Amino acid sequence: MVGYELVMFSSLLRRLCDGCKSLPLLSPCLLPAAVCSVCAGFVLPFLYPTIMSRDFRPVATAGPTSAANVGSIVSTTVGGAPRLSFTPPLFGSFGKKAKDLFKKKYEFEHQLKVLNTTADGKAIETSVVFPTDKQVRGVFKSAVPVRSLGQLNGTFESEFHTVAEKESKTSYKFSNLIKGGFVKVGITGVKADSKNDTADFPEGWATVEAEYSQEYVGGNVAVRTNGQKTLVDAVLAVGYDNLSVGGKATIDVASKQAPQDYNFGAEYAGADYVASAVTEKKRSVLSLSYFQQIAKAHTVGAQASFGLVKPSRSLQFGTDYRVDPDTTVRAFAKVEAGKDTTVLATAVEHKLYKPNVLLGVAAEFNISPSNVTAGRMGIQATLGDF
């Protein structure tokens, strides 16, 4: 019986070596297994004990993944060991985990928020924001799933602000029109000031967006127009073995010139870390980021930015730690070239019971060699289904 198994193992090795592009076909197959780094490092130590075991059962599972803006995997198992295929995240999600570590939970405004989720999946959020230097504003957000239209099922989403400089928008997301993707149509209304990134459409626009993702590739196309001007945002990402590369270009359909607003980058996702390099602001800035989960309750991250047009450099380092099931602490420090001040920000969240309240406090400090001054501060209270 052992002789038969050796013949089967030799035949399997021969097939593997036939497909190995690092060497031409060599026979017998044990010769390339002895000299080929691929076979010697992987095939012999891994497959031989598996083939020899009485429990060898080849199993294959594969299929497209859902359209999501995070990298996902599909496993193909041989002898119980998975071979991981890869669906890349979209370009807009490159470095997102590190960016979120420096942005999320740092709410430097006083805020009271109520979250409600109904039994049939409707989500409603209402909040009142008390800025330190502007008028009080109200915010209403909702997400209503639609499940009775068959192929047209989706989610109706809306967001409204009581002040004009904030974007109020309404959209409907068709979930079943594209297998492995979605289609979204929406309207955004805003009267932006000069500091906002909506200068192309200062009083709002309509949007049609389509996204598709499958193994090794993902893409998104969005058309924005206000009747006088039309822009097309095209995003593409390809990936293999946890490495993703991609880019985004914004095209003015009325312009005859080549697109000038485009960026590109790459990201690698390890077992417990993510590293990325992307360009920003029409390739005028290069951003390098790193995120790692060093323990179950502890993550760290860093981001370095370099000006490619105007000389500038900045470095951020942040961490998030869950003290206990009800308390998390987050902090980051930022240093910029040419400035003698280091910005230090902290955010603490704590859950209370009876009544259920999620309390958050965020504060910012400016540290220089001569003194330490307090900057912005915000207190948030969230009620309901948080």
The SS3 assignment for 47 reads helix
In degrees, to the nearest 5, what angle opens at C-alpha 52 toward C-alphas 47 and 57? 75
How far is Cα 339 from Cα 369, in angstroms, rounded to an integer? 11
- Which residue, 344, 260, 337, 275, is CA-closest to 306? 337
Q: How far apart are CA 231 and CA 248, in angstroms?
A: 13
d(C-alpha 349, C-alpha 12), whole Å: 56
* CA 78 – CA 89 distance, rounded (Å): 26
Residues 378 and 366: their CA atoms lie apart, in Å, by: 16
pTM score, whole prediction: 0.73
Across 46-60, b (16+ Cβ under 10 Å) vs e yields: ebbebeeeeeeeeee
Q: How many residues does the chain have?
A: 386
Tens digits of residue pLDDT in 229-250? 999 999 999 999 999 999 999 9
CA atoms of 70 and 239, how far apart (whole Å): 12
The CA angle 275-276-281, to the nearest 5 degrees, is: 155
Report domain extents, the chain. 2-86
pLDDT, tens digit only, all 386 positions of the chain: 444 444 444 454 454 444 444 433 333 444 343 334 444 443 444 444 444 444 444 433 333 333 334 466 554 444 454 556 789 999 999 999 999 999 999 999 999 999 999 999 999 999 999 988 888 999 999 999 999 999 999 999 999 999 888 889 999 999 999 999 999 999 998 765 534 455 577 778 999 999 999 999 999 999 999 988 999 999 999 999 999 999 999 999 988 888 889 999 999 999 999 999 999 999 999 999 999 999 999 999 999 999 999 999 999 999 999 999 999 999 999 999 989 999 999 999 999 998 899 999 999 999 999 899 999 999 999 999 98
Which H/E stretch holds residue 172?
A: strand 168-174
Backbone angles phi, psi at 378, to 5 degrees: -150, 145
In sign, the C-alpha dihedral spanning 255, 259, 262, 266 is positive
